[in-house]
Amino acid sequence: MEAAAVILIIIVLALILGVKPIFLIIAGAAVIGLLIVMMALLFAFFFAKLITSQKREALFSHIGKKTNSRFKVAFYIIDGVEYPNVFPEEGFLEDKLYKNEKKYNVFLNKSGYVFDRFAAATCIIGFFVSLALAAAAIFAAAAIL
């Protein structure tokens, strides 16, 4: 909400100072394009971490908070060691998605994080969708300029 108020104030001030509306539209599109490219880079980072991880069999342990984290994550036990999931848990249908004492195939990263099936799907889908959006944003910017 505060961000929307700041953006509105900047737009009003720019219009008062005589900036043409087309420049504000171009600036807004550039900011959105930059956010899309940054999202693609973030998903590319996690996708690279996923493909360099080892596939392991793990036992679902519980859902809880990691140290110094605000979000709950799923924990899995691999060879007697408990590892947290890389992304927060979904928060809905928790009892349907995560079965206690059930074995799952997960991807264990060298950093000590686990990519479960939901995190892997998020990385793969997010990577390709954000890549397509970033390419579309770059082509749109090239067409305008």
Q: Which residues pair with 76 in a beta bridge?
A: 60, 83
Percent of the chain with pLDDT over 70: 97
Number of domains observed in the structure of the chain: 1
Is residue 48 included in any domain, yes or no? no
Q: For CA atoms 100, 103, 104, 106, give the dihedral sign.
A: positive
Give the per-residue pLDDT at 93: 67
pLDDT band for 57, please (50, 70, 90 cuts).
very high
The span from the CA of 9 to the CA of 90, in Å, is 35
pTM, two decimal places? 0.77
Average pLDDT estimate for 28-37: 85
Give the per-residue pLDDT at 51: 92
* Domain span holding position 98: 54-122
**What are the pLDDT digits (tens) for 91-130?**
776 666 777 777 889 999 988 899 988 889 989 999 999 9
Do residues 23 and 79 lie in contact, with contact meaning Cβ atoms separated by under 8 Å? no
Is residue 82 included in any domain, yes or no? yes
Closest-CA residue to 114 (of 133, 131, 144, 89): 89
Is residue 80 included in any domain, yes or no? yes
pLDDT higher than threshold 80 for residue 21: yes
pLDDT band for 42, please (50, 70, 90 cuts).
very high
Is residue 95 included in any domain, yes or no? yes
Is residue 132 included in any domain, yes or no? no
